[in-house]
Structure 1
């Protein structure tokens, strides 16, 4: 009797040889991609986790608009620009703008992270640059620790960037909040002094610029720039400073049309230069600036001085005391190379 015929086994198709359960590394990569998309990634690098994005302050713009309105009203009542308040308001606006910029960067970074996660998921957790190797030997590649590590590194770098941006965002929001509170405190301080300031400004009759006011009568004086168009009160202050320090002052500049909204275009401000060309003054000249500033403050009542700016600080007679100013980027803009004096 012939033995029963053995059933012929069908040959395995090539595809069957590679359809194996994904190895743990591949499954981890896919899960990592999914978690990354959801913002819940805990990367293989210890200490990394996708951060939660802090909510943006909802009332900053309204507070800034209110500050601007209050600043304009106070400047009108106090008869001149309140530089300390203007500086505080601009600092708050700048800090708020920086916070907005960081928020935009953070959104872009999260979008890039989401794109990476989607890319990884669509390719079964495999970076496109590795797909060729996978195609040649899928089993070996899927179990290749280097491939999984490469994907983890890319994911980890994205999360590091997100963590950095979130930290920057929180710091920017905190800075904006503090600058805003500082400006609000300045408004409150000025409001409390309203009666005293009203009595102070009442002492000085408003003056219009006079084309007849030019040079000092003190004889020898430093080079003058923009003397036509200053008020008589400003000329009086100029002459008093030049009489005391004229031999040492480099130059004096007063009226200029492009004063940036300050007192120069009104003929109510002069700059007493301590160096030239935007350079920092020597120690001796910086000390001279200290002396000029203090002389103007000590004699403010008789001269009609409204405020003095020197060394990135302002002393306003309507709110006595030195207040720091924001960094404007240069020795001249920060008033290190000259003393600025404005009058009522």
Structure 2
């Protein structure tokens, strides 16, 4: 015969176990967290691929714009030198025209002594070297200006290319989201405007590849260094309610250590839709993640039936109808 514990004794025990589970980072997270964050595998794969492509294209676009700015400044300086050198060479040409081709020989033949001859020859050689240097310098600066203009044109073409890539990835993301989204949405606002500490990037502005290699302070699992930075910066900005990152089961970014779920309720994940202060907390948190997406390396954010993707912005997003599936009880953060 199976014995049962009286309800009066069972409730305190359950409460204690729940509290312990929350402290240890186990039990509480899976209870009301969606096991398949981001929808179907096909949708998640498409969102990840398009977000990565968008972020990489944006980094290339930013670098190209920076190079164009540097080249434009360089060209402006070269053109100032070009004007000055053109005037100097013009003076040399005018002087040569006035003195004639035989002026040098005449000056030497009119020397009254060997010493005067040598002095005049040295002066003429110095003048010839100086004038020749000016002409060579003018030629070099003209070539430098031509190369800068070609490089600027190349950067403009690169920018046009990356804009097209971003537009293509946006269309692909929108097409993938069409099955779970009815279109653009308003997003969220509120919260602190504190800027997050940027995660390290490669020299070209792209995000380095990272593995699940550091301890997850919210569970007994692991997360990537970039996810850890995002978690720490989120908490430093004042969002300190219960959070769970690594999850061994299911799919998506959690098992890769690249995602965290932030509960809207102060006491942890609850199987109910957030309202009032909890809703305002989630709104502010989601908005903060989006504002700092470029600093942190955010792949996408899901909150309250909406999803933010770097290529599409905020769009409506529907799950199976539960608070976990519709993300109305927690903010989901996926990292690059």
TM-score in same-fold range (> 0.5): no
**Shorter-chain TM-score range:** 0.3 to 0.5
Q: Name the structure, 1 or 2, with higher relative contact order (CA <8 Å, separation 6+).
A: 2
So what's the TM-score if we normalise by structure 2? Answer: 0.41
TM-score with structure 1 setting the length = 0.40
